[in-house]
Amino acid sequence: MGLKALFSKTKKSAAVFVDFEHWCYSLNSRFNLKPQIVEWYDNLSERFDIKRIFFFGDFTEPRLKSFIDEIRRVTNNVIDTQNPSTYLKKDYTDFIMLDYIYQDVDEYSKTDVYVIFSGDGHFSSVATYLKTKKKKRVVVYGVKESMSQKLRKIADECFIVPTDDQQMFEYKKMIIDNLDYLVRQPKISFPTYMNTIKIVAEKNRVHEDKITEAMKNLMDSGIITQEFVRGQRKNLIKILKVNWDLAVRNGLATPETDQ
């Protein structure tokens, strides 16, 4: 038996159910961030032997539809929950997802762990059922500030996204992307400290304090420095400069970035 096969046997088997409407909409409205689907799946698969994974949502909605290709990098089980009625539109996704979970635990009795990605309190009952009646371990993921306290308490483990590190990485990337954009412009541009913070915060609808913290982090790590240049009127201007090699090594830019 190979080492990979032996290692997989030490992992608990898992079925995963993702309320993608919760993940996508809550992450966007609270933090203006996007789900990192492949990264999340890779981290989850390090812990569990994932047997089945399903993504639920009304994928006729443009924002959710834009993620289908990325979702299909981890699974083809994309469950479209479009409701022809406007009544209880969000709850409709919950009801379909709940039905899948109840059917799954009856059909696959040997699955060890049930992973539920949702912050909705509607899933408290099924989490209790899985634990008490079916003796399954329940792991819950949810978006920060959008998570049912009842669901958190019932779960054996609860993980909140984004983590502080994930938020900081995304805010730093917003800054680097903005500076990369300016580098590519044919006209002369002078990205200054305060102006860059203001522009990035406004463009991405993030509080300036968050972008300021990310900027300081980038400068402390040497990814961004400041230097004086002569402006068009021969005046000295203190501008931001990116160490693109460091940015690439930290995953904030690609090797193809115009340097």
Q: Pick one of 3.30.750.24, 3.90.1560.10, 3.30.230.10, 3.40.50.1010 as the CATH number of 3-162.
A: 3.40.50.1010
Query: Quick one: pLDDT band at residue 3, thresholds 50, 70, 90?
Result: very low
CB 234 within 8 A of CB 210: no
Per-residue pLDDT of 130-150, as tens digits, reads 999 999 999 999 999 999 999
| pLDDT at 1 (0 to 100) | 45
CB 169 within 8 A of CB 217: no
Q: Residue 146: name the closest of 230, 25, 14 by CA.
A: 25
Query: What are 153's two structure tokens?
Result: 């308490």
Q: Is the pLDDT of residue 165 over 80?
A: yes
| pLDDT at 82 (0 to 100) | 87
CB 224 within 8 A of CB 191: no
Q: What phi and psi, each to the nearest 5 degrees, are found at residue 256?
A: -80, -5
Q: Residue 257: name the closest of 176, 150, 198, 174 by CA.
A: 176
Domain boundary assignment for the chain: 3-162, 165-249
Q: Is the pLDDT of residue 18 over 50?
A: yes
| pLDDT at 92 (0 to 100) | 83
Per-residue pLDDT of 57-104, as tens digits, reads 999 999 999 999 999 999 999 999 987 665 555 578 999 999 999 999
CATH topology for 165-249 is Arc Repressor Mutant, subunit A (1.10.10)
pTM confidence score: 0.81
Give CA separation, 105 vs 8, 14, 22, in Å: 21, 11, 23
Give me the DSSP letters along 74-137.
Answer: T-S-EEE---SSSTTHHHHHHHHHHHHHHHHHHH-TT--EEEEE---GGGHHHHHHHHHTS--E
Average pLDDT over residues 231-248: 90
Query: What are 211's two structure tokens?
Result: 């972008």
Q: Is the pLDDT of residue 235 over 70?
A: yes
